[in-house]
Chain A
């Protein structure tokens, strides 16, 4: 049966201990680098030192993170914690999808890559029907037209556009 402290804890149990431990360890590691990574300037007030605010931030992280860790009602990493850590790792798949998209756009151009990326990821998520494929294509087209063609946000034209003939080339680089 969970104890009163566990019962009153805000949020789920799984993963809390691992997160708090990692947080404190990172804060400690960063704080240990403070003399090398920041400078102490002579004849300058204490609060105006370049080292002051990183010290405040890291000190706060270590102090409050440490207290949080100390007050956690659990002291051992259970297998549910490890399940949770594995769940965090699973997100890496979508991070890779995102990074592949980011790296492909400057090479192949915003419109072609988006038109391929959205349906591909929808396919991966299990939406394989005609309706959802159509919707994803429509969404991809709408995104490009709205942001690049109409709002003119800064996304460079793909390297592949260089091979297009004259007028078409500049149109593609500017708007698609």
Chain B
């Protein structure tokens, strides 16, 4: 109780209140505009938050992260275009509801489910915080190294069908993080005697390039789409009532969200997928899923909104971000010399709880805002794409230039913007680059520190947590290999079934080689030849 009171004390400031309001309203707006995700907004606002107090800056960013998914449900339901990437599953059941004339029901249900997910996860984490504070100190350098390694591996293998290129891009991130002056031996790495590379490539420059500028380029090169909006009539409160009829699905989905959010590199998509599958399997009307099922909508929206609070756990407790948005937030901590990690959980528990409480208040604010203002809010969906591109390009300048007032940074951000644009055109992920950069840096420091007291390779995993993490890494890699082999087998089978070209005789013989050499084959052929001989003898 004391902890919660002291956390409230941290939050009782006018600038924190303003940050909460700005974060919630801004986040909803950003989420509601298709084409501007929370990543773009956080990347742009990041340098502006450096001059604020850590709690104020983080509240704004966390607010945008937490509330963008509420906003993202609006275009997903009304025009079948997810506002943020994680609202993709909302379109499955949300849009069919709009199509049959129930947009208001779908929206209010989405808000209520999101609210439940958000609040559930925050309450869970506040309750778990003391337990986490006990576990966090068990993580030394080796464990943090292994956890970071696990994070990278999970991010890579999560890109099904693209794991190799995702791995290569993560390695690219690890490489660009090494450019510049090496801090221990003071030697230059890959600077090519250029002064501007001496201090390394700034994470924020890369983030702004890969997320904000590339998105601006995509929008500028795109065509404008015509948007038809359905009119909303009536109140927005019926969703809360409908949600209360499905407490089991909402709770299980929120739990999936919390669990998946805590694991680095897994995040919203897996949580949504698992809860949607669960809801469909246990539903009395599974045939409705994908055709406007309220249970499907609840599963999708509850799971994705339970993730932001949980995603803060590895960041705060171990200093390891699990995805791009928390990786960006890490730089806010570093700028203020607050190093997230076990020490933060032990010494500044009130700060951690304050962040969670801020997220809780934020959810309430967003729900109130949305229930009141949805009708006027939906107009932002109509902003034309290319004009949005102009706006993002203008705002990206603030982000990059205010960092060090350097034109070289802007050139580098533009170059990364082009890389990001190419990746988007090819449907390749940019997130592994960012995580490679952040986790690569952490791994370098922690491996060096961890190896100082290690004589034999096996000593590295002689502590229980390190051993468990190592075991998980092995299991993940083995599971991934099995999946790749299974996919390969399926592909081969499909290739064989769909083969239309004529099969040559030599190939046919070669494939039947083993059957020819087996005893049964010999018997059959002997019988055939006997019959053939009898037949030929007749003539």
Binding site for B on A (CB under 8 A): 1, 3-5, 8-12, 15-16, 19-20, 23, 27, 30, 33, 37-39, 41, 44-45, 47-48, 50-51, 53-54, 56-61, 63-65, 67-68, 71, 84, 87-88, 90-92, 94-95, 97-99, 101-103, 105-106, 114, 117-118, 121-122, 125-127, 132, 135-136, 139-140, 143, 147, 151-156
Q: Please name the residue on chain B nearest to A8 by beta carbon.
A: B491
Residues of A close to B495: CB separation below 8 A: 3-5
Contacts of A99 in B (CB 8 A): 407, 410-411, 414
Is B425 within 8 A of A84, CB to CB?
Answer: yes
In the complex the two chains form, is B171's CB within 8 Å of A60's CB? yes
> A68's contact among B164, B427, B448, by CB below 8 Å, is which?
B164
Does the CB pair B161–A4 fall under 8 Å?
Answer: no
B427 CB to closest chain A CB (Å) equals: 3
Shortest CB-to-CB span from A142 to chain B, Å, is: 10
Q: Are B397 and A91 in contact (CB under 8 A)?
A: no
Q: Does residue B48 face the partner (Cβ distance < 8 Å to A)?
A: yes
Q: Which B residues have a C-beta under 8 Å from some C-beta of A?
A: 47-48, 51, 160-162, 164-165, 167-168, 170-178, 182, 184-185, 187-192, 213, 216-217, 220-221, 384, 386-387, 389-391, 393-398, 401-402, 405, 407, 410-411, 414, 417-418, 421-422, 425-428, 436, 440, 443-444, 447-448, 451, 487, 491, 494-495, 498, 500
Contacts of A71 in B (CB 8 A): 164
Partner of B190, one of A12, A45, A54: A54
Which chain B residues lie closer than 8 Å to A48 at the CB level?
184, 448, 451
CB of B491 within 8 A of CB of A125, answer no
Main secondary structure of the interface of A (DSSP, over half): helix
Tell which of A20, A39, A59, A87 touches B187, judged by Cβ atoms closer than 8 Å: A39
A4 to B177, CA, bound (A): 38
**8 Å CB contact of A122 from B167, B213, B390:** B390
Instruction: Kindly state the separation between the CA atoms of A174 and B401 in the bound complex, as whole angstroms.
Output: 16
B165 pairs with A65, CB closer than 8 A:
yes
**Chain A residue with the shortest CB-CB distance to B403:** A154
Q: What is the minimal beta-carbon distance from A91 to any residue of chain B, in angstroms? A: 5
Number of inter-chain CB pairs below 8 Å: 202
With both chains docked as a complex, state the minimum distance between the C-beta of B152 and any C-beta of chain A, in angstroms. 10
**A5-B491, A63-B168, A125-B387 given; 8 more Cβ-contact pairs under 8 Å:** A5-B495, A15-B425, A41-B185, A47-B448, A91-B217, A91-B421, A99-B407, A140-B394
- Contacting pair B189 A139 (CB below 8 A): no
Q: Which of B171, B177, B410 is A64 in contact with, Cβ under 8 Å?
A: B171
State whether A102 touches B410 (Cβ < 8 A): yes
Residues of B within 8 A of A50 (CB): 182, 184-185, 187, 189
Closest to B500 in A: A1
Instruction: Report the Cα distance A64→B168, complex, angstroms.
Output: 5
A91 CA / B221 CA spacing, docked (Å): 8
What's the minimum C-beta distance from B161 to chain A, rounded to whole angstroms? 4
* CA distance in complex: A99, B408 (Å): 10
| Cβ B451 vs Cβ A45 within 8 A | yes
B397 partner residues in chain A, CB cutoff 8 A: 98, 101-102, 105
Residues of chain A within 8 A (CB-CB) of B428 are: 11, 19
Contact A68 B394 (CB under 8 A): no
Task: Kindly provide the distance from the CB of B394 to the nearest chain A CB, expressed in whole angstroms.
Answer: 6
Q: How far is the CA of A88 from the CA of B51 in the complex (A)?
A: 36
A100 CB, min distance to chain B CBs, angstroms: 11
10 smallest CB-CB distances across A and B, nearest first, come from A60-B171, A57-B175, A11-B427, A57-B174, A64-B168, A10-B161, A65-B168, A153-B402, A68-B164, A39-B187
- How far does the Cβ of B393 sit from chain A's closest Cβ, in whole Å? 6
